[in-house]
Amino acid sequence: MGSLSKTVQELALQGEEVPENFLYKDGHGGSPDVPVMDVPVVDIGLLGTSAEELEKLKSALSTFGCFQGINHGMSLEYLNQVREITKQFFHLPLEEKQKYLREENDIEGYGNDMVLSDQQKIDWNDRLYLVIYPEDQRKLKLWPENPKLFRSTIHEYSVKIQSISEVILKAMARSLKLEENCFVEQYGKKSKLYERFNFYPRCPKPDLSIGSKPHADGSAITLLLQDESVEGLQFMKDNQWFKAPIIPEALLVNVGDQAEILSNGVFKSPLHKVLTNSERERISLAVFYIPDPDKEIGPFEGLMDESRPRLYRTVKNYVNIYFQYYQLGRRPMEASKIQD
């Protein structure tokens, strides 16, 4: 495994030709001119009391595989502070950011794609990847001390997101008529939250490169704070790409592979990608709820019967295989599906 010799931000600032390993000759970058996805808006504050809102959640996750979550307890003003601190970090001098470089075979820290082969296509983004929960699993040497408020802001955000993620997982269980703690318990006491701060610099060849290659998430669920004004995220539904709309005060929540497996395919882990942009840079913050790697994840008994047989094998340490598949542009989910 290796790393790029330069960050994507450096390449963009120096105005050099886009290197070959970023380019897809077939116009693979995709088009921004696709329909807007009609993503359902779910009031997270009502999930504990409203049967209608719970049904809306189930419908969203079993068709689109995602929803826009509002009324989650964080104000737009606060979310904009989190966005701003992210932008400030990526605009620090390179030597300051390099204090937090990820190590060769680790995903945590600052950098970009792990390079697994010479043929691999690289995503046009830089990122900072941190374990944010539980607190005793944090590698504080990788938590930026600049900007000054970074650590305190992200600590506060992680506490809020951890609470919101459990509310959503419990609601997902109830929507399937299961005991509300079954998702949380199945994922184990050693579940972690990883946060990925994404920075997509302006790209001179947006039609031939891609910000994030098409993939589904290896998480249980992912909670995304989008850029407040710059589009780029697209989801696939019925073999067609759709733009994810921006609602600045919302969290975009999507199913990951490990919730699709537990739900025996009721919830859909959607394929998505990020386009590049020649005019505006873009940021986003994704929090991944990652199950304990030692726990075996398989479909719940209550979701299998003669009319809906078991669709997936039991998996373990799914995220480990996930990253290897991702860099190859493949879905590890294919390996866990039971073929007819």
> pLDDT by residue (tens digit) across 49-77?
999 999 999 999 999 999 999 999 999 99
**Closest to 326 in 3D by CA, of 280, 257, 265, 254:** 257
For residues 222 and 253, the answer to whether their CB atoms sit within 8 Å is: yes
The pLDDT > 90 percentage for the chain reads: 75
- Asked whether residue 6 carries a pLDDT value surpassing 90, the answer given is no
The pLDDT > 70 percentage for the chain reads: 94
For residues 187 and 292, the answer to whether their CB atoms sit within 8 Å is: yes
Query: For position 116, what pLDDT does the model report?
Result: 66
Query: For position 242, what pLDDT does the model report?
Result: 96
User: Alpha helix locations (H) across 141-284?
Assistant: 150-175, 182-187, 257-262
Query: For position 1, what pLDDT does the model report?
Result: 42
- Asked whether residue 98 carries a pLDDT value surpassing 60, the answer given is yes
Average pLDDT of span 252-279 = 96
Q: Residue 106: CB partners within 8 Å, gap ≥ 6?
A: none
Q: List 167's β-bridge partners, or say none.
A: none
Q: What is the mean pLDDT of the chain?
A: 92
Peptide bond into 19 cis (omega under 30): no
Confidence of residue 2 (pLDDT cuts 50, 70, 90): very low
Average pLDDT of span 303-311 = 93
Tell which wins on pLDDT, 5 or 43.
Answer: 43
Confidence of residue 285 (pLDDT cuts 50, 70, 90): very high
Q: Give pTM, 2 decimals.
A: 0.95
- Asked whether residue 26 carries a pLDDT value surpassing 90, the answer given is no
For residues 192 and 229, the answer to whether their CB atoms sit within 8 Å is: no
Query: For position 161, what pLDDT does the model report?
Result: 97
Which pLDDT tens digit goes with each residue over 169-222? 999 999 999 999 999 999 988 999 999 999 999 999 898 999 999 999 999 999
